[in-house]
Amino acid sequence: MSQANSSESDSQVWTIGRLINWTRQYLTDSGSDSARLDTEVLLAEVLDCPRIMLYTRFDDDPGDEVRTKFRELVKQRAAGCPVAYLVGHKEFFSLKFKVTPDTLIPRPDTEEAVQVILDLVKNNQSPARSIADIGTGSGILAVTLAKELPDARFAATDLSDTALKIARENAVSHNVADQIEFFSGDLAEPLAGQTFDIIVSNPPYVSEAEFDQCSRDVKQYEPSLALVAGPTGLEVYQRLVPQALNLLNPDGWLVLETSPMLAGSLQQLLQQHGYREVQIHQDLAGNPRVVLGQRQTSGSGS
């Protein structure tokens, strides 16, 4: 932001409004497809105020210290670092979650998995007394569901101990730590011997070829271990779907987030393993996003 450096010495003050307008264009030119939002989130973080308050302070001079901190964040964003990592948090289901480069950044699409489970409970299709979140990452699914279902108990697993640390912190910050037990290990393996009414997972489902086409924000900054499944994208599902059968109570549900390109194949995979009532739910953009199926009442499915 060298232009800002030189311009601050002229007679026109770098007000909040001027900072927003200049930075929006700067980030657009740097390749951001959400430059206005990025600008506002970063500036609100430095000012320690809600984004909406920026519009009431357009003519304010934020001062040299704020401008210096803001410039540094903007430089990092222009280089590709995601805003969520720069500010250290991301909103999901109207809750603020801590995130770091050890965890994926929550996506709005994942909220559909939460809604599917809440609908199962609302429609009396599941008691949801016990829920497992496989590959919890920053804990968004387990923590959000714990907030919505205060009488349920949860188990959450992840292969990354550093991600589990973040998930535990998010559970504490949202006052649901007493509902969730965290386990370190691969997929559902740490939960052997336990059973659940619902198992939910947003596992890695990006194929290697797809990952090569991802933006630099994703490829250079987000953990590939939490994104890439293998050559087809189905590899993790092929392990998890049969694993889950042994952990589900009779009539229990497996709820999986997936890619729109994999939804049909994942539906077939669940059917092949004996799940019934296999359904595909769309996200808010109308894309196939969540595949769910129910374990047979008897043990015939396992």
Q: Are residues 45 and 20 in the same domain?
A: yes
Q: Which two tokens stand for residue 175?
A: 């006052």
**Within-domain flag for 110:** yes
The residue from 79, 114, 138 where one domain ends is 79
Q: In CATH, what number is assigned to the domain containing residue 297? A: 3.40.50.150
What pLDDT shows up at residue 297?
Answer: 75
- What pLDDT is attached to residue 298? 61
Residue 87 lies in a domain: no
The span from the CA of 271 to the CA of 194, in Å, is 23
From the list 88, 25, 116, 17, the residue with the least C-alpha distance to 58 is 17
What string of pLDDT tens digits covers the 302 residues of the chain? 444 444 444 457 899 999 999 999 999 999 999 999 999 999 999 999 999 999 899 999 999 999 999 999 999 999 999 999 999 999 999 999 999 999 999 999 999 999 999 999 999 999 999 999 999 999 999 999 999 999 999 999 999 999 999 999 999 999 999 999 999 999 999 999 999 999 999 999 999 999 999 998 999 999 998 999 999 999 999 999 999 999 999 999 999 999 999 999 999 999 999 999 999 999 999 999 999 999 987 644 44
Our count of domains for the chain comes to: 2
Classify residue 86: in a domain, yes or no. Answer: no
Q: Based on the fold, state whether residues 108 and 134 are members of the same structural domain.
A: yes
Asked if 197 and 249 touch (Cβ cutoff 8 Å), the reply is yes
Structural domain including 143 reads 92-301
Last residue of a domain, one of 79, 109, 128: 79
Strands 130-134 and 196-201: parallel
- Please tell me the distance from the alpha carbon of residue 175 to that of residue 172, in angstroms, as a whole number: 5
Integer CA distances (angstroms), 145 to 11, 199, 203, 284, in order: 53, 12, 17, 19
Q: Using DSSP, how many helices (H) and how many strands (E) does the chain show?
A: 12, 11
The token duo for 244 is: 């889950």
DSSP letter assigned to residue 286: S
pLDDT recorded at residue 4: 46
Is residue 41 domain-shared with residue 171, that is, in the same domain? no
Within-domain flag for 85:
no
Residue 205: C-alpha distances to residues 110, 184, 240, 254 (Å): 13, 20, 12, 16
User: What are the beta bridge partners of residue 145?
Assistant: none
Q: Of the candidates 231, 279, 245, 236, which has an alpha carbon nearest to the alpha carbon of residue 135?
A: 236
Residue 278, judged by CB atoms within 10 A of its CB (0-12, 13-18, 19+), counts as: middle
139 & 281 share domain = yes
Are residues 66 and 119 both part of a single domain? no
* Distance in angstroms (rounded) separating the CA atoms of residues 245 and 295: 7
Phi and psi at 89, nearest 5°, equal -160, 165
Looking at this protein, which amino acid is placed at residue 94?
S
158, 58: one domain: no
Does residue 32 form part of some domain?
yes
Are residues 142 and 179 both part of a single domain?
yes
Same domain, 230 and 181: yes
Claim to verify: residue 229 and residue 192 sit in the same structural domain: yes
Q: Which residues contact 10 (CB under 8 A, 6 or more apart)?
A: none
- Round the CA-based radius of gyration of the chain to a whole number and report it: 22
- Is residue 201 in some structural domain? yes
222 CB contacts (<8 Å, ≥6 apart)?
Answer: 82, 101, 104, 105
* pLDDT at residue 12, as a whole number: 78
Residues 52 and 102 in one domain: no
Helices (H), the chain: 2-7, 16-29, 35-47, 64-78, 83-87, 111-122, 140-148, 161-173, 208-212, 216-221, 235-245, 263-272
Nearest partner of 192 among 165, 157, 160, judged by Cα? 157
Please check whether residues 39 and 124 belong to one and the same domain.
no
Among 79, 106, 140, the domain boundary falls at 79
Residues 107 and 146 in one domain: yes
84 domain-assigned? no
Domain assignment present for residue 274? The answer is: yes
- Is the separation of the CB atoms in 187 and 214 below 8 Å? no
